[in-house]
Structure 1
Amino acid sequence: MTKLSLLRHNKEQAFKQLYEEYYAPFCLYAKRFIEEKEIREDIVSEVFVSLWDRIDAFEPDSDTTLGYIKMCVKNNCLNYLKHQEYEWNYAELVHKKTPIYENEPDSVYTLNELYHMLYETLDKLPENYRTVFIESFFNGKTHAEIAEELNLSVKSINRYKQKTMELLQNELKEYMPLLVFMLISGRA
């Protein structure tokens, strides 16, 4: 065994002893900061893993090693708590904040929400207007077909459709380009 491998072997033995003697005490020390046992154990384990990764750069049996481990455990606990506080604050902010679609006219809506808004607006129309709109845009019927079914003139159908579009433009002006696209593509 070379001197270097002997030195490495001795460091590994010293590290193993350090871990076995101090893992549990450092988990108890972490309890000063964090209640959850699993989280404390994870933090202490991470400190020891980090130490293991740099085994060649330190002396496991030196006096400063315990102080270093203690400082790392404390800092990792505080970092964990700081991150938790950030997550809680963010979650609280999201919970308190009104959904964007309730207070901003240019917000993003789902397709179902847009359909719902369209149908709510159509419900404000007289029955004939609504029927003309639905038959024309949703069912793809011509003005002549609708006029024949409703016993109305084609001119009346044009007027109903025009009035419906005016109402939609007034009520849903922010969404008209998308609604027109939906209606033209026949997805409504």
Structure 2
Amino acid sequence: MRSAPSTTDSELFSALRQGQSSALDALFRRHYVDLCRVALRLLNDEAAAEDVVQVVFTKLWTRRDTLPAHIPAVGPYLRRSVRNRSLNYLRDRSRLPLDDGELPDLPSDPSLQPGAALEAEELQRRLHQAIDRLPERCRLVFVMAKVEEMSHQEIAAGLNISVKTVENQMTRAYKFLRQWLAFILFLIVQNA
């Protein structure tokens, strides 16, 4: 089965269930990059993210006979599979820190260009840098909540922590990000 642009994900998923490897290939090509982004946000490790996505597709093929007969939306199903596999990866590798870690110092990066126009792309880049500077568990909780749009209950269940711990981590992340962005804006205003 050659995948034409008009072939839907649901049709491909159905063909996969029937053992058509070309359907798996088409789904892989369609979703691989986006699924790698999902895993990368959670794992912060490009090679591990790619491995997780490949494992998800391998399991799709090996378990094709037991896949659900009808999935309303294949994309979200694959995203959830990658998210769950990423959480399993963190758990199995003991990479999920048990302590809260210390919040990093506010940036004192001399490469910040005084007086430079604050464009949306630059702000986005700096925001991602700030998120990456959060302690690992705090970063993971923040990404799961704001990027993956998971509820506090889903995060708590996925990470095997309490909802209160999720709320505390979100509070810490917001506090740091507010301070960090205020610092950046202060530098820009000072040098304008």
Do Structure 1 and Structure 2 share a fold, with TM-score over 0.5?
Answer: no
Larger Rg: 1
More helix by share: 1
Tell me which interval the TM-score lies in, with the shorter structure as reference length.
0.3 to 0.5
| TM-score between both structures, scaled by the size of structure 2 | 0.36
